[in-house]
C-alpha cells in the first residue's frame, strides 16, 4: 500500500511538473522586439489574394494590418512592402463560391480597404502579380488590370511624399504598377524603392535601368520589388505559362536589370507556393552584380498555408526586417500576428528555421 501511495505521489508530482513546464513555455511567448532600439523596421507582406477572395478570410488580413499600426512606434516601422497578387481574379463577375465568393470588384475593394488602415500613417509599396491582371482568364489579351483604380498616388499621403518616377502601363497611362520612391532612413542612408509590374515588359526594364542609373540616385541603396522572380529551389524563374509576347521573369530581370546595375542591393518577390508546404513558399539567394557587389534576393509568400488554396489565406504570416544602425545588417524574422492573438496559438506564432530567421548583409 505504501509503495502504491509513493507511486501516486510521484505520478502527481510528474504531472504537476510537466503542466508547470507547459505553462512556462506558454509564458515565454514574446511579441517581436527590436534587438537594437535604434533600428528601423520594414514589414514584408506576402501575396494576399486568398485573404480577399473569401469574405471569411478578410479579417485575418485586417489583423495583420492592425498589428502593423499597433506596433509602428514600438518597432520603428517605416515601410511596408507587398509582393503582389492583391486579388485572386482581376475582373471576375460570377465566381464559383467553392473557389471564391467575392467578385473581382469586391476583391479589389477589400484589398484597398485593408491597406487603407495604413493610409496617412506608413508608406507602403505593392507589386502587381499575375492574378492582378486579366491574363488569369487565359484570354491572350494584353495584361490589363484594375489596379490603378484602387491604388493611386493620392491614396496614401505617405506614399505621395516619396513618389519620384513612374512610367506608362499597358493603357499608356502613368501608373504605380511601375514606380520608384525615394526615402532616407533614420540612420541617414538613402534608399530608392523600385516596384515593377508582373513579368515587366522590355520598355519597363529599359525605364528601370534609366532610373537606377540617374546621377541623383547614384549613392542610393536600391530595393527592387517584383512578383515572379525566384522559385523555391532558389533559382531565377525562366518562364511561365501565360501567352505574353513581351514579358520578363526572374532570369531576364536579373540579366537585364539587376546584374548590370551598380546599386540594386536587394530584390523582393512572391508568387510561389504549394498547399501547406512552407518551404515551397520561400526562396533566397545572393549573386554578384557587374560591379562585384552582392545582391540579396528573397522570395516570401504564404498564400497556400493554412489549408491550401481554399484555406485561411496564409495564416497571417509576415516577414519582419530589422535594419540595424550599422547600415549593413538586416535581421529577418517570420511572424504571424494572427496566431499571436490568442494564448492557445501563440506557440505557433514564430517560424525559426534557418530559412525563416537569418541575417542579410548589405554592401
Q: Is residue 10 part of a domain?
A: no
Q: Is residue 36 part of a domain?
A: no
Segment (H or E) for 319: strand 318-323
Question: Phi and psi (nearest 5°) for 158?
Answer: -70, -30
Containing structural domain, residue 356: 41-361
Q: Say what the alpha-carbon torsion angle 16, 17, 18, 20 is, to the nearest 10 degrees.
A: 80
- The least confident of 179-183, 245-249, 302-306 is 245-249
Q: Is the pLDDT of residue 246 over 80?
A: yes
List the CATH number of the domain containing 291.
3.60.21.10
Q: Is residue 5 part of a domain?
A: no
What distance in Å separates the CA atoms of residue 158 and residue 118, rounded to the nearest whole number?
9
The predicted-structure confidence for 103-119, as pLDDT tens digits, reads as follows 999 999 999 999 999 99
Q: Is residue 27 part of a domain?
A: no
Chain-centre distance for alpha carbon 22: 33
CB crowding 334-362: b at 16 or more within 10 Å, else e:
bbbbbbbbeeeebeebbbeeeebeeebeb
- Residue 250 in contact with residue 259, Cβ under 8 Å? no
- Mean pLDDT score, 134-138: 66
- Residue 229 in contact with residue 299, Cβ under 8 Å? yes
Strand partners, 225: 195, 268
Per-residue model confidence (pLDDT) at position 4? 53
Q: Is residue 286 part of a domain?
A: yes
What distance in Å separates the CA atoms of residue 189 and residue 208, rounded to the nearest whole number?
21
Cα–Cα separations (whole angstroms), residue 59 to 66, 155, 162, 267, 313: 10, 21, 29, 29, 11
Give the chain's end-to-end CA distance (angstroms, integer): 73
Strand partners, 266: 223, 296
Q: Is residue 17 part of a domain?
A: no
In the structure, what pLDDT confidence band is assigned to residue 27 with cuts at 50, 70 and 90?
low
Fill in the DSSP letter of residue 230. B
- Residue 44 in contact with residue 83, Cβ under 8 Å? yes
In this prediction the pTM is 0.91
Q: How many domains does the chain have?
A: 1
Q: Is residue 356 part of a domain?
A: yes
- Residue 114 in contact with residue 52, Cβ under 8 Å? yes
Who's near 26: CB < 8 A, 6+ residues apart?
Answer: 343, 346, 347
Q: Is residue 28 part of a domain?
A: no
The predicted-structure confidence for 185-240, as pLDDT tens digits, reads as follows 999 999 999 999 999 999 999 999 999 999 999 999 999 999 999 999 999 999 98
- Mean pLDDT score, 94-101: 96
- Between strands 190-195 and 221-225, the pairing is parallel
Per-residue model confidence (pLDDT) at position 23? 46
Per-residue model confidence (pLDDT) at position 363? 85
Inter-helix orientation angle 104-116/58-70, to 10°: 20
Question: Phi and psi (nearest 5°) for 193?
Answer: -95, 125
Amino acid at each position: 500500500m505504501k509503495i502504491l501511495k509513493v507511486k501516486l505521489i510521484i505520478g502527481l508530482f510528474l504531472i504537476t511538473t510537466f503542466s508547470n513546464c507547459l505553462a512556462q513555455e506558454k509564458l515565454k511567448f514574446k511579441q517581436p522586439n527590436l534587438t537594437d532600439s535604434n533600428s528601423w523596421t520594414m514589414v514584408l507582406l506576402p501575396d494576399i489574394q486568398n485573404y480577399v477572395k473569401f469574405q471569411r478570410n478578410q479579417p485575418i488580413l485586417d489583423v495583420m494590418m492592425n498589428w502593423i499600426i499597433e506596433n509602428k512606434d514600438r518597432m520603428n516601422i517605416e515601410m511596408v512592402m507587398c509582393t503582389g497578387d492583391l486579388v485572386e481574379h482581376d475582373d471576375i463577375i460570377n465566381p464559383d463560391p467553392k473557389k471564391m465568393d467575392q467578385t473581382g470588384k469586391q476583391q479589389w475593394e477589400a484589398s484597398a480597404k485593408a491597406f487603407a488602415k495604413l493610409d496617412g500613417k506608413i508608406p507602403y509599396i505593392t507589386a502587381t502579380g499575375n492574378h492582378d491582371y486579366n491574363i488569369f482568364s487565359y484570354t491572350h489579351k494584353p495584361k490589363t488590370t484594375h489596379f490603378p483604380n484602387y491604388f493611386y498616388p493620392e491614396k496614401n499621403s505617405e506614399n505621395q511624399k516619396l513618389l519620384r518616377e513612374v512610367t506608362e502601363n499597358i493603357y499608356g497611362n502613368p501608373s504605380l504598377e511601375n514606380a520608384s520612391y525615394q526615402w532616407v532612413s533614420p540612420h541617414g542612408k538613402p534608399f530608392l524603392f523600385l516596384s515593377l509590374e508582373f513579368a515587366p515588359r522590355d520598355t519597363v526594364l529599359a525605364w528601370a535601368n534609366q532610373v537606377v542609373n540617374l546621377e541623383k540616385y547614384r549613392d542610393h541603396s536600391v530595393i527592387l520589388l517584383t512578383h515572379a522572380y525566384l522559385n523555391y529551389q532558389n533559382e531565377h524563374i525562366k518562364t511561365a505559362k501565360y501567352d505574353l509576347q513581351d514579358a520578363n521573369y526572374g532570369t531576364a530581370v536579373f540579366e537585364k536589370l539587376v546584374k548590370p546595375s551598380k546599386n540594386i542591393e536587394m530584390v523582393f518577390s512572391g508568387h510561389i507556393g504549394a498547399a501547406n508546404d512552407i518551404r515551397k513558399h520561400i526562396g533566397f539567394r545572393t549573386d554578384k552584380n557587374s560591379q562585384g557587389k552582392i545582391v540579396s534576393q528573397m522570395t516570401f509568400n504564404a498564400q497556400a498555408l493554412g489549408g491550401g488554396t481554399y484555406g485561411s489565406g496564409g495564416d497571417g504570416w509576415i516577414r519582419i526586417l530589422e535594419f540595424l544602425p550599422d547600415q549593413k545588417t538586416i535581421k529577418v524574422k517570420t511572424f504571424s500576428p494572427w496566431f499571436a492573438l490568442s494564448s492557445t496559438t501563440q506557440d505557433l506564432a514564430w517560424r525559426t528555421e534557418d530559412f525563416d530567421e537569418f541575417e542579410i548583409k548589405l554592401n
